[in-house]
Structure 1
Amino acid sequence: MIDLHCHSTYSDGTFSPSKLLEYAEKRGVEVLALTDHDTVDGLHDFFSHVTSVERVAGTELSIDYDSGTFHVVGLFLDYKEKRLNETLDFLKNARRTRNEKIVAAVSGLLGRKVTLEDVSDGNEGELGRPHIAKYLIKCKVVSTMQEAFDKYLAKGQPLYVDKARLGFDEAAEIIHGAGGIAVLAHPASLRLSDEELVPFLGDLKERGLDAIEVFCSEIKPDRWPFYHGIAEKLGLGVSGGSDFHGDNKLKIALGTGPDTLNTPYSVYQALKELTQR
C-alpha cells in the first residue's frame, strides 16, 4: 500500500513529518509522499527520519483557472531547486499577509486584540484556516471545525480572505523544472460533469499535466474505473493518496482514506517511470 498525498504540521496537518513516518510504518504504508500546501519546509525532517518507508518529496499547489480553483500535487521533486523555492517563498509571504488579515478580522469578531502567536499555539509550520478554526473553538465561538468553516471561514463568510495562487502553466513548469511530475489532486472536487471533465483534462495534458489522482478519498471505488479510463484514454498516469491531515480530517486515515483505499506499489513504480521521460 502506498500514499502519495498527505499533510504535516508544516501546513494544515496535525502530525509532524517524523510522526507521519512512524504512523505509516504501523499502518503498513510502503511509500509515503509528503505534500504540504505551498511549502517544502517539512521535507528536511521527513528525509532525516530513520524509517523503512520509501519517501517521495512533494508539495500541493493551489491553481487559479477560469471557473474556480483546483490543486496540483508535485511529486518526485528536487526540493532544493532554486525556482521552486523562490516561488514557494512568494506564496509563503502571501500566506502570512493573508493570515494577518484573517487574524485582524478575528480581533474584530471577538472585540479584543488577537495575535498570530495566539492562533498558532506553538505550531511549527505555516498557519492556515484550520488553525483559525481551532482557535474559534477554543474561544467557544463555535463547537466544531465544520461550524467554523460554515459560519466564518468559507468563501463569502466574515473571516474569509482569498489566497495567492499560481496559474496551471506556471505550476507545471516549476514542478517539471524541479524534476517532478504534475498530478491533478482529487479530480472529483472540480465539480465538472463527466462530459466536461474529459476536455478539461485533455487541455491540462497538453499544457503539462502528467497524472491524475484516481485512488483518493473523494472518489468512491465504483468510480475508479471511470477515472482510470479517462487517464488511459488521454495518456495520463494514475496516482493515489489519502489527503491525510491527522486530527483535522478525522474520517480520513493514512493510507486507506475513508477505509476504501489500498493503492498498490505498482502505481508508485509507474509514476516514478514518468520522471524519466
Structure 2
Amino acid sequence: MHTLNADLHCHSSVSDGTLSPEDVAARAKANGVQLWALTDHDEVSGQQRARAAAAALQLPYLTGTEVSVTFAGETVHIVGLGFDADDSALTEGLRRTRGGRELRAREMAAGLARVGIQGSYEGALKYVGNPELISRTHFARHLVETGVCRDTQEVFRKYLTEGKPGYVEHRWATLPDAVGWITGAGGIAVVAHPGRYKFSANEEYALFSQFKDLGGRGVEVVTGSHTPHDFVKYAKLAQEFGLLASRGSDFHSPTESHTDLGTLPPLPGELSPVWEALQDRVWR
C-alpha cells in the first residue's frame, strides 16, 4: 500500500489552480495516479465534477478540501479527505471562511493602487470569476500578464508578502473550526505541508498537540514543497504523534508548479498511509 501512487492534494480553477477539475483528473490519470483527491481552497463546489471525471477515467477518488486556518499568527492549511461534501456545517463554515476574501482583495488592490498599479482587483477577478475565491495568486497572475513583473515569484516578493504594498492579513478559520467541520462530515483532517510554516519548534509542537487533541489524524509527509530532509523530519513527527501519513503534489498549474501530479516519491515504509483508514470512503 505504501507504493500506491496516491495524490491527495491539488487544486483546480474552482480555487487557485489553472485547470478545470476535469483536466486535473485527466492529468492525474495520465501521470499514473492510482488514488486522487481534489482539494480546492475553502471550497467543495468542484467535488461533484471531480468525482464524475474520476469515475469516467476509472480513477479511485476521495473527496477533498484545503481549509485556511490562522494559528499563532501564521496561515496554516488543513486538508480534509473522505468527508461528505454535502454536509451543511462544513459547507456553511467554508462559505464563511471564503467570505473574507473579497474584502481583503479590495484592500490589496487599494494598496497596489497607492504605488501606481491601477485596476488590479478587476484584473485579478478575470482569473477567478468568483470574488469569494479571489486570492494573492490571481493578483500575481494579473501583474505578470500586464508586464509589471516577470513571474509570480517576483510579484510575491515585491508586492504581496508582509510589509509590501499589496499585503493584507486575512483572519481565517480557527483550528477547532477546521478539524471540527472535517471530522463532523465523516472525514479525516490532515496538516498540509508542515515544512512550509515559519514556526519555532515550540509553536510547531503546539500546533500538532492541539491538532491531535481536537481529533486531527494525519500529516502530509511527502508533498511538493517538502525537501528530502522534510520527508524524514515529518515521518518521525507522524510516528511521534501517532498520525497517519499523507502524500500530495499540491499541484496548481502546468506552468507554475514545481511538482506535477503523481511524480512524488513513495511514503517511507514505516508509516501508516492515510488512505488505509479511508478505504470505505473511496469512490470507485
Fold match (TM-score > 0.5): yes
What secondary structure, in the 3-state scheme, does the structure 2 residue paired with 1:73 have? strand
What secondary structure, in the 3-state scheme, does the structure 1 residue paired with 2:61 have? strand
Matched letter for residue 79 of structure 2: V
What secondary structure, in the 3-state scheme, does the structure 2 residue paired with 1:135 have? helix
- 1:121 maps to which of 119, 126, 131: 126
- 2:49 maps to which of 29, 45, 49: 45
- The corresponding residue for 2:71 is 65
Say whether 1:175 aligns with 2:182: yes
- 1:33 maps to which of 26, 31, 37: 37
Pair 231,121 (structure 1): closer, same or farther in 2 beyond 3 Å: same
**Shift, 1:66, TM fit:** 2.4
- Tell me the alpha carbon deviations over residues 52-89 of structure 1, each in whole angstroms, 9 at most, x when there is no partner: 21111111112122252311111112111111111111
- The corresponding residue for 2:140 is 133
What secondary structure, in the 3-state scheme, does the structure 2 residue paired with 1:85 have? helix
- The corresponding residue for 2:238 is 231
What secondary structure, in the 3-state scheme, does the structure 2 residue paired with 1:166 have? coil
Q: Which one is further off, 91-100 or 174-183?
A: 91-100
Matched letter for residue 121 of structure 1: K
- Tell me the alpha carbon deviations over residues 67-113 of structure 1, each in whole angstroms, 9 at most, x when there is no partner: 5231111111211111111111112221112122223333444464x
Write the distance in 2 (CA, Å) between the matches of 1:254 and 1:17. 13
**Shift, 1:184, TM fit:** 0.4
How many correspondences in the alignment? 270
- The corresponding residue for 2:24 is 20
Write the distance in 1 (CA, Å) between the matches of 2:149 and 2:195. 29
- 1:89 maps to which of 86, 95, 119: 95
Uncovered stretches (5+) of structure 1, i.e. residues with no partner: none
Q: Is the 8 A contact 2:72 2:203 kept in 1?
A: no
1:257-272 matches, cutoff 5 A: 260-263=264-267, 267-272=273-278
Pair 107,225 (structure 1): closer, same or farther in 2 beyond 3 Å: closer
- The corresponding residue for 2:208 is 201
- Tell me the alpha carbon deviations over residues 33-55 of structure 1, each in whole angstroms, 9 at most, x when there is no partner: 11111111211221232222111
- The corresponding residue for 2:6 is 2
Matched letter for residue 194 of structure 2: P
Q: Is the 8 A contact 2:224 2:258 kept in 1?
A: no
- Tell me the alpha carbon deviations over residues 128-151 of structure 1, each in whole angstroms, 9 at most, x when there is no partner: 111111111222221111110011
Write the distance in 1 (CA, Å) between the matches of 2:168 and 2:17. 20
Write the distance in 2 (CA, Å) between the matches of 1:36 and 1:111. 29
TM-score in terms of structure 1 length: 0.87
Pair 108,247 (structure 1): closer, same or farther in 2 beyond 3 Å: farther
- Tell me the alpha carbon deviations over residues 131-180 of structure 1, each in whole angstroms, 9 at most, x when there is no partner: 11111122222111111001101122101111231111121111111111
Identity %: 33
Write the distance in 1 (CA, Å) between the matches of 2:105 and 2:80. 24
Q: Is the 8 A contact 1:245 1:252 kept in 2?
A: no
1:243-254 matches, cutoff 5 A: 243-247=250-254, 249-254=256-261
What secondary structure, in the 3-state scheme, does the structure 1 residue paired with 2:257 have? coil
Q: Is the 8 A contact 2:9 2:39 kept in 1?
A: yes
Give the CA RMSD over aligned residues: 2.4
Pair 105,197 (structure 1): closer, same or farther in 2 beyond 3 Å: closer
